[in-house]
Structure 1
């Protein structure tokens, strides 16, 4: 259970405090309600670029990391299709340093042309290294636009094309910042050896004077229900042929999410999963195979992926996976099999909440979805899933018409 108290500043900044006297540390997490799904289709990769720019100096602080390191703190950030998240961990005695740093970044970046130039080059190099020059690195550059026809999940967080980052101007950067990097478009979570009153005082001192901006109301195109199977083939210099199958599924906080999550665990989470047992242990068609979900806020994807052993064709591998998928549709699962994946899921959840920072992040994520109490309902929702739910979800999600398949071949 993650206990918390909440208050809102006059400028719209929502603040959550999770007190934990058992640790000498504090975690400060700021979630901005902007991800790659919010980008202009002709200017993608900006949310990720901003993650980099936010470390390039702000109005009064030219070097972000240096003062934090002096007080024993660490920081990082990540961008997803849904959010951009910045976090700091430091001794609770030095909490105010985190408030000083984060409030100055929220107030304004330095908008230094040299910083923009440097970070553009960094992101472009990352695009090349991780997505273009790495085996299978471009998979999601191909899978996303195959699976999504309308929704902006159709491009990866890094962006659709390098040129979008290369051609970014300072005006583009300022426009993005002043639209999304606002106190009324952010959630601040402070966790650890802190008090609510202490956090209120620091928020009043460091954040209250930052002006609110125009509220951002998300109006994204909904992805139509997929009504026919899709298929794409590609090839590159990769070690083995690979199979990717993706199925549309409910969003992170929608009904049916946890059922689909557990279904994916049964398919391919561990060595006791069906894909592993039947396609690696019993009949070694794959060198690796697993299943997982994207867990995005808007309707996401259940993914099955595997590297196919030499001597096995992609068509044979695909047919073998389809046979296992159809078992879920045609035959009820056992209570024992469901109980096993429930226990795995609950153990993962409990382990994640040991870390103070994870508690802060999970609270911020649930609050951003509209209901912070969701952070404490996970175990209950997992346990509520029944074997009938699994089979009904399998019939809905694992339909052939709901699947997009990518054959990734070894280039000859």
Structure 2
């Protein structure tokens, strides 16, 4: 269980405090309720671009990293389709430095054209290196628009195409910042050896003067139910043929999600999973194969992906996967098999919460999703899943009509 106290500032900033006096280190995590799903289709990649721009100097602080390094701190950030998250770890005695830095860039970026020019080049280079010039790097650039027809999950967080980043101008940057980077669109979590009263004083000093903004309603198009299988074939210079099969599932906090998550674990989480046992160990069809879910806030995907051994056709691999799925749907999961994946999931959860920063993040993610208690309910939700739940969700999701398949052929 992650303990916490909570208060909200006059400008709408939600603040959570998780006290832990076993460490001299503090973690400061701030999450903005904006991700790539909030972008316009002709201007994608902005949420991720902003993650970079937020380190390029703010209204009163030309260099973000320098003062933080002087007090022994570290920082980083990441963007997802649902959120943008920034975090700092530093000695607790220097925690006010984190409040100063984060509040100043929430107040206003420097909006320096040179910074924009530099970060555009950085993001474009990242796009090329990670997505275009790396084997299988463009998989999600192709899979997302195959699986999603209308929901903005159909483009990757990096953006739909490089041109959208290249064409970004300062007016776009200002507009995006003042629309989303608002105290009433953010959540601050402070964790470590610090009192609630001290956090309250620092939050009021550094964040409360920042004015709240007008939040735009989030009217995202709902993805229609997929009623027919979809298929895409790609050829590229990659080491091995690969196959990707994706199925629409619930959102992260929807009823049935945990059963789907555990079903994916049974199918492909580890070397003792069904797909690995049958198609890597017993039959040397695949070099590697796994299954997982995207855990997105809006309805997401279960993904099955594998690289085939040389001499095995993609068609053979696809048929072999389907055979394993048919057996999974036909024969109920045993209590022993379910207990095993529950224990694996529980272990992952417990070990993740050893780290102070992870506890802070979990509180931030849960609060942003609508209920901070989500952070403390995960274990009970995992344990509540039954064999019948697995069977019901598997039969609902793992249908041919709900499947999008991509063959990735090596040339």
Quickly name the TM-score band, shorter chain normalised: over 0.9
Residue in 1 that maps onto 2:50: 50
How far the C-alpha of 1:215 sits from its partner, in A, is 1.8
Residue in 2 that maps onto 1:192: 192
Task: Name the CA distance, whole Å, in 1 between partners of 2:80 and 2:193.
Answer: 29
Q: Counterparts in 2 of 1:3-402, with a 5 A limit?
A: 3-402=3-402
**CA deviation map 1:290-328 (0-9, x unaligned):** 011111110111000000011100000000001111122
The answer (yes or no) to whether the contact 1:230–1:405 under 8 Å persists in 2 is yes
Task: Name the CA distance, whole Å, in 1 between partners of 2:327 and 2:82.
Answer: 33
**CA deviation map 1:318-371 (0-9, x unaligned):** 000011111221111100000000000000000000000000001000000110
The answer (yes or no) to whether the contact 1:185–1:216 under 8 Å persists in 2 is no
Task: Name the CA distance, whole Å, in 1 between partners of 2:44 and 2:282.
Answer: 44
Task: Name the CA distance, whole Å, in 2 between partners of 1:358 and 1:398.
Answer: 32
Task: Name the CA distance, whole Å, in 2 between partners of 1:216 and 1:325.
Answer: 43
How far the C-alpha of 1:143 sits from its partner, in A, is 0.1
How far the C-alpha of 1:93 sits from its partner, in A, is 0.5
Q: Secondary structure of 1:372's partner?
A: coil
Task: Name the CA distance, whole Å, in 2 between partners of 1:132 and 1:335.
Answer: 44
The answer (yes or no) to whether the contact 1:293–1:303 under 8 Å persists in 2 is yes
- Give TM-score scaled by structure 1 length: 0.99
Task: Name the CA distance, whole Å, in 2 between partners of 1:248 and 1:40.
Answer: 23
Task: Name the CA distance, whole Å, in 2 between partners of 1:392 and 1:325.
Answer: 14
Q: Which runs of 5+ in 2 are unaligned?
A: none
Task: Name the CA distance, whole Å, in 2 between partners of 1:380 and 1:399.
Answer: 29
Q: Secondary structure of 1:377's partner?
A: helix
Q: Secondary structure of 2:137's partner?
A: coil
How far the C-alpha of 1:173 sits from its partner, in A, is 0.1
My pick for the range that moved more, 153-162 or 327-336, is 327-336
Q: Alpha carbon RMSD of aligned pairs, Å?
A: 0.5
Q: Secondary structure of 1:407's partner?
A: strand
The answer (yes or no) to whether the contact 1:124–1:166 under 8 Å persists in 2 is yes
The answer (yes or no) to whether the contact 1:41–1:152 under 8 Å persists in 2 is yes
How far the C-alpha of 1:216 sits from its partner, in A, is 3.2
How far the C-alpha of 1:265 sits from its partner, in A, is 0.3
Q: Which runs of 5+ in 1 are unaligned?
A: none
- Give TM-score scaled by structure 2 length: 1.00
Q: Secondary structure of 2:373's partner?
A: helix
Runs of 4+ more than 6 Å apart: none
The answer (yes or no) to whether the contact 1:140–1:156 under 8 Å persists in 2 is yes
Task: Name the CA distance, whole Å, in 1 between partners of 2:26 and 2:217.
Answer: 32
**CA deviation map 1:354-409 (0-9, x unaligned):** 00000000100000011001100000000000000000011011111111000000
